[in-house]
Amino acid sequence: MRDDETEHLYLDLNTYLRRRFGQKVWKVPVDAGFTCPNRDGTKGLNGCIYCNNESFSGASAGEITGQVKKRIEALKRKNINAYIVYFQSYSNTYGSLDEIKTKLESALIDDGIVSIHIGTRPDTVDDEKLDYLAELNKRYEVVVEYGLQSSNPETLRIINRGHTADDFADAVRKTSERGIKSCAHIILGLPNDTREDMMETTRFAAACGVHSVKFHHLHIVNDTELENIYKQGKIKVMDVREYADILAECIALLPDETVIARLMGDAAGDTLIAPKWEISKNGFIDLLKSVMREKGLRQGVLFRK
């Protein structure tokens, strides 16, 4: 094992990938130019209150191929030869089946691609799309990353999410029935969510049977509704110790086999308004381990079926 202490405390993504594929696997992010129903008028126009309203690229299949080729060529120069194609921006199952097929398959250009991760919303999948992903899953490990954020219905309303926790549970069930893995995105520190709400969201994701979880701390970025609310003093953000403390509790609520795919969120460039923590990602990992040891916690210790 590469890091016995980390593996004892929680199952991180790199450890899972090395076990699964026998080597280091690197993510290749793709912007496929999709939008989402909460921004194009189907369910809303302004998106979630924390979402930056930048314009969409409308990327073509050729542009997607170019993105992947450029990034894989750079990784090969570093002797990294196994890749996850990560469709990251917005809702990558929001479109016709033909459009989704064209965009996904335009990225599958190298024999070193072992997995496809697809970021999306639970209300933008259906049986036809999932059947297609099940066929793709025979050639690659497919992971569908569903934004849950919170299981509290009032919180989902406040953040203008546009779907319910039941939508999430239904999407995960249908995905799992086809042998496809699911990942839950959870934001800790959302307006209205108490500490118990955050823990309950984690329990809910575990009960749905997700393969992995990405935790994000709430951050305020510019040009968002959340920025306005924050500047009016109506919400607070957690300091780094507070976040490490609740994250440690949430990790302990998950089954041992659930992959902890992310520990904290990112904000692009100079868009971040708050919180501005003076800590590196490695420094945060060290802090989290310290908190877990102090509290006598490790992944699975608080899990209840």
What is the per-residue pLDDT across 272-302, written as a single tens digit (0 to 9) for each? Answer: 999 999 999 999 999 999 999 999 999 999 9
Structure tokens belonging to residue 204: 């809910």
Residue 96 lies in a domain: yes
Residue 302 lies in a domain: no
- Residue 82: helix, strand or coil by DSSP? coil
Residue 277 lies in a domain: yes
Q: Could you give the C-alpha distances from 191 to 19, 152, 165, 220, 225, in angstroms and in order?
A: 38, 11, 17, 12, 12
Instruction: Give the total residue count for the chain.
Output: 305
- Positive or negative, the CA dihedral 223, 36, 182, 64 is negative
> Any idea what DSSP says for residue 121?
-
Residue 305 lies in a domain: no
Work out the pLDDT band at 7, boundaries 50, 70, 90.
very low
Quote the domain boundaries for residue 58. 4-295
Amino acid at 42: T
Work out the pLDDT band at 59, boundaries 50, 70, 90.
low
User: How many structural domains are present in the chain?
Assistant: 1
Residue 304 lies in a domain: no
Residues 6+ away with beta carbon under 8 Å from 297: 9, 248, 249, 251, 252, 291
Q: What is the pLDDT of residue 283?
A: 96
Of the candidates 204, 199, 197, 209, the one whose C-alpha atom is nearest the C-alpha of residue 259 is 209
Q: Which long-range contacts (CB under 8 A, 24 or more apart) does 59-66 make?
A: 59/31, 59/32, 59/33, 59/103, 60/33, 61/102, 61/103, 61/106, 62/106, 63/33, 64/30, 64/32, 64/103, 64/106, 64/107, 65/106, 65/107, 65/109
Helices (H) and strands (E) in the chain, counts: 11, 9
Residue 160 lies in a domain: yes
Q: What is the CATH number of the domain that holds 269?
A: 3.80.30.20
Residue 283 lies in a domain: yes
- Predicted confidence (pLDDT) per residue in 185-230, tens digit: 999 999 999 999 999 999 999 999 999 999 999 999 999 999 999 9
- Predicted confidence (pLDDT) per residue in 98-141, tens digit: 999 999 999 999 999 999 999 999 999 999 999 999 999 999 99
Pairing of strands 181-188, 212-217: parallel
Structure tokens belonging to residue 15: 């450890």
Work out the pLDDT band at 268, boundaries 50, 70, 90.
low
Of the candidates 55, 115, 132, 142, the one whose C-alpha atom is nearest the C-alpha of residue 90 is 55
Residue 5 has pLDDT above 50, yes or no: no
Residue 213 lies in a domain: yes
Structure tokens belonging to residue 31: 């912007």
Residues 6+ away with beta carbon under 8 Å from 78: none
Distance CA(259)–CA(15), nearest Å, equals 9
